[in-house]
A and B are shown apart, each in its own frame.
Chain A
Amino acid sequence: MAITPDNFKFIQAFARDTAAIVLEAGKEYLVETRLTPIAMQTGFATLDEFINQLRRDPKATLFHEQVIDAITTNETSFFRDFHPFEALRQHILPKLIEQRAGVRRLNIWSAASSTGQELYTIAMIIREHFPQLRDWNVQILGTDLSPTVLTQARQGIYSQLEVNRGLPAPLLMKYFTKVDAKWALKDEVKKLVEFKQLNLIKPWPIMPALDVVFIRNVMIYFNVETKKTILKRIRQCLQPQGCIFLGTAETTINLDTELVPMTIGKATVYQCKPALVPA
């Protein structure tokens, strides 16, 4: 069920305009893989018939949501890449706790939280290693474009496959309960986090002053201008000593000269240039 060039162009434009996702030429196979099951489930004989319907009916919002959900890569896992979480545990949180002891407040944001594993990893680290934060005002916020992934994130229920991807067995035993074939996070971790819908390329609500931002493996799907805009907006929300985690293959080079990299162990974090930090 190969997609026609014209319909691929339509999906490219649709993904770009709705979610700033860049689908390069050569990604036809991906569109076919992700959208063919939706076309079948919704009663269309071919993928092109399904896309033709999308083109005819710009108000078919249910289909639109399904298409964006399908095209968005929701790859995530507990302790993904490991090193950023080691840097967070060993260096960044201890330092922030020292710096924020007066206000006893921390704001952590996972900007594309997908099904929640990144945010819950942070919550488990805090629960496990920083008991002193129990009486602080700690906001751990996860946002994502997709209502579908946010629903799963809020439920905090994961398959064996999902917990196998990086979650250490002792933490699985301590913070999850087996429910049939799935693993459900205990409330003591779930209650630490909050999820909200947010499209990074649309206007943002008023954000609190952020101490730590995880925006990993998201901007790889955006064009340069969108990357610049998003980094600038994050920088404007960042606390003076706040830091940003990007994906392993991502950088701020040629995107934002006011953010500088700092190596902590095997992780890289980005902070505002000291000169720019408000007094």
Chain B
Amino acid sequence: MVNLDELIRQAQELQPLPVSTVRLASLVASSHTDLEDICEVIAYDQALTMTLLRAANSAADAGVSEVTQVHEAVFRLGGARILSLAMSVSTRSLLKRGVPAYGLNEGDLWLHSVAAASVAETIAEFAAEPLPPETFTAALLHDLGKLVMGRFLDPFDLEMIHRAQSEGGLDPLTAERQILSVHHGELGGIIAQHWKLPEKIVKGIIFHHTPAEGLDLICDAVYVANLVAKPVVNASLPTAVVDPEVMERLGVEQTRLDELTAAAREHYESVSERYNAN
């Protein structure tokens, strides 16, 4: 059986994020930051500079003229997208791993994560309330906990989680919590804290299945992003079933869910290039 302390220890032993990504996260989260501060951080990171320039010229974000300077890329993409992109560069190899315990083959989690980030961008267009700038990044990282959890669950744990659902009638998240005393959202939150990411990102990850407990719009947006990302990646899936109260808090009419999904699918296809998703 997996031990809770061991799971948490493993979550806290993941390789740290690059200093520039952490700094960028803190700048984007701060209300006192201007884009010049962000440019300064990026200028010291060559790999990130290349990624941003490519992204700023990609199909989803390209303007009339080609972007060749960091500050032009930053102004074109904005802080929220920049952070999400920087995070994708830092976590891509991690999120590309397969997680058989969750039925995820190599690359599946990465596609879902990028889709969730792009759905979050679409939600921002639909929502009546402005979303926190950390939202896209929280959506990208929301399933981080599965990576650690998936590596350490043994056959006994998996069988019990399965039986808690089939015999106990629990939903997957409650089953995980009842059997392991922690669910993948909470474990993802521990990783985000270990990476010193802003509190809103941590919250968005922890409460992505239970947004009412998070008491923050970022939790609502990440919850919807996670659900809508599934039919966005796999068009044969039906439109997601979303809690109407969450939609109300976001200021998106429930009747617009199909429209949101269609827009998110279109957006995902164009941002895949930006995230180098495939």
Question: Residues of A at under 8 Å CB distance from B?
Answer: 1, 26-30, 32-33, 36-37, 82, 159-161, 164-166, 169, 181
CB distance from B1 to the nearest CB of A (A): 6
Q: Which A residues are in CB contact (< 8 Å) with B103?
A: none
Q: Please give me the residue from chain A that is nearest to B182 by CB atom.
A: A161
B189 CB-CB contact with A under 8 Å: yes
B36 CB-CB contact with A under 8 Å: no
A183 to B12, CA, bound (A): 16
CB distance from A22 to the nearest CB of B (A): 14
Pick from A29, A82, A161, A165: contact of B164, CB below 8 A: A29
B143 CB-CB contact with A under 8 Å: no
Q: Which A residues are in CB contact (< 8 Å) with B182?
A: 161
A37 to B6, CA, bound (A): 15
B225 CB-CB contact with A under 8 Å: no
| Contacts between the two chains (Cβ within 8 Å), count | 46
Q: Please give me the residue from chain A that is nearest to B187 by CB atom.
A: A161
A26 to B190, CA, bound (A): 33
A-B contact pairs, 14 of them (CB 8 A): A1-B156, A26-B167, A28-B167, A29-B163, A29-B164, A33-B160, A33-B178, A36-B1, A36-B156, A82-B215, A160-B193, A161-B4, A161-B8, A164-B190
Tell me which of A27, A28, A32, A164 has the highest count of chain B C-beta atoms within 10 A of its own C-beta: A164
Q: Across the interface, do A29 and B168 meet the contact criterion of CB distance under 8 Å? A: yes
A82 to B178, CA, bound (A): 21
Q: Across the interface, do B186 and A164 meet the contact criterion of CB distance under 8 Å? A: yes
A134 to B8, CA, bound (A): 39
A159 to B4, CA, bound (A): 11
Q: Across the interface, do A164 and B189 meet the contact criterion of CB distance under 8 Å? A: yes
Given A26-B168, A161-B8, A166-B213, A33 contacting B179 (CB threshold 8 A): yes
A32 to B167, CA, bound (A): 13
B199 CB-CB contact with A under 8 Å: yes
CB distance from B197 to the nearest CB of A (A): 13
Q: Which B residues are in CB contact (< 8 Å) with A159?
A: 8
Pick from A30, A166, A169: contact of B168, CB below 8 A: A30
B206 CB-CB contact with A under 8 Å: yes
Given A160-B190, A164-B189, A29 contacting B8 (CB threshold 8 A): no
